[in-house]
Amino acid sequence: MDEKRLVETFQWLHRHPELAMEEYKTTDYLRKILQENRVRLLDTGIETGLIAVIGTGKAPVIALRADIDALPIAEQTALPYCSETPGVMHACGHDFHAACMLGAALLLKEREETLSGTVKVIFQPAEEVNLGADRMADTGLLDDVQMFLTGHTDPQYPAGVLGIRPGPVMAAADRFSVCIKGKGCHAAHPEAGVDPIPALGAIISAVQTIVSRQVSPLDSAVVSVTRVEAGNTWNVIPETAFLEGTVRVMTDAVRERIRKSLENQIAHTAKCFGCEAVFQYERGPSPVVNQAEVCKRAEISARELGLRVEVNPPSMIAEDFSRYLRIAPGALFRIGTGGGFDNHHPAFTADPAALLPAARFFAALAERELSQLKA
């Protein structure tokens, strides 16, 4: 796999971003390149995304995972290969991920006879909406995988740097909502009704204390109220008020504690104001927890390839890669891609100079993991 071709692939993907579960052109494009290189593809039964297979077809089996979807963001970069689809952009570097894992797949294909097992390369749709990993995992085609590996672009490091951190690296992301039921009336006669708005205000204040008073200062957690809605005019006390928000944590124990605290505080606070609260809590992706042993081996592979290794800080953003870690252990590494703008920013860019080193790293680590599992 030569670098020029790899960069062209990345740039094509960047020019043709597609939203979650609509990655048709992306899938066709990747499929064509894989087929041209005689890489076997599995029938996933899913319209977008692919699973490629390289190696003996027998155990041990490890997986490399890329996500391929873009975001509903209007691109604001001056790149000569900027998005050709108005309002849609690869602002999270999933174009980079797809090109990188394609590169790794083709590098592994070149030395297929020497592999001591099987590598499944996952091109996963719909990461941004937390759907794709479930879809891919639910096919059952990954049940034999013993180690899952992935990477994510990271603007805090330049090309040539790899962030490796054992333990929790990405948070769980849950969603909660509350509908506060009172009794509507004329705004001039509050005594005739039950105003849900003071209850809403008190709940917003109360839940701010969960992280500071009920979670250990040594644990990471976020409770954010992100949307409130009540009433529609100035002279009517509304019947109901609504709020929703998100909880981010690194462990299931803290997650459960916060869920219970929210439920309690919301129910009791609403009651104080004579209201009733209907509380809903939806679990999103679980935390991504990197296996310590594979992180050590990754560091060796990275250094052998001349990459600089950093211990990256964990992030309170979620990643549906955690779904695969319910099948087998694994790790998510940070790929330095420079650029100066955060992921999901309209000016986000990923430095193509990071592509080939990252592809080589994943190919090398995949080989290392296969020999490790075989031994």
Under the rule (CB under 5 A), what is the footprint of Ni ion?
92
Measured distance CA(355)–CA(353) in Å, rounded: 6
Measured distance CA(61)–CA(156) in Å, rounded: 32
Backbone angles phi, psi at 324, to 5 degrees: -70, -30
Please identify, using beta-carbon distances, which residue of 92 and 249 lies nearer to Ni ion: 92
Backbone angles phi, psi at 53, to 5 degrees: -125, 130
CB of 330 closer than 8 Å to CB of 133: no
Positive or negative torsion for Cα 4, 37, 40, 20: positive
Q: How far is the CB of 92 from Ni ion (least distance, A)?
A: 3
Q: How far is the CB of 154 from Ni ion (least distance, A)?
A: 10
Report which residue's Cβ sits closest to Ni ion: 92
Angle between helices 355-374 and 3-15 (to 10 degrees): 110
Measured distance CA(19)–CA(71) in Å, rounded: 6
Q: How far is the CB of 77 from Ni ion (least distance, A)?
A: 17
Q: How far is the CB of 214 from Ni ion (least distance, A)?
A: 31
Please identify, using beta-carbon distances, which residue of 92 and 223 lies nearer to Ni ion: 92
Q: How far is the CB of 146 from Ni ion (least distance, A)?
A: 25
Q: How far is the CB of 309 from Ni ion (least distance, A)?
A: 21
Please identify, using beta-carbon distances, which residue of 92 and 98 lies nearer to Ni ion: 92
- Strands (DSSP E) contained in the chain are 40-41, 50-55, 61-67, 118-124, 147-154, 161-163, 167-170, 172-181, 185-186, 221-230, 236-237, 240-249, 276-282, 288-290, 308-310, 330-336
Please identify, using beta-carbon distances, which residue of 321 and 361 lies nearer to Ni ion: 321
Point out which residues pair with 333 in neighbouring strands: 151
Please identify, using beta-carbon distances, which residue of 20 and 194 lies nearer to Ni ion: 20
Contacts of residue 322, Cβ cutoff 8 Å, sequence gap at least 6: 133, 170, 172, 285, 286, 287, 288, 289
Q: Could you identify the residue written with the tokens 């008020």? A: 241
Please identify, using beta-carbon distances, which residue of 171 and 200 lies nearer to Ni ion: 171
Please identify, using beta-carbon distances, which residue of 92 and 275 lies nearer to Ni ion: 92
Q: How far is the CB of 136 from Ni ion (least distance, A)?
A: 15
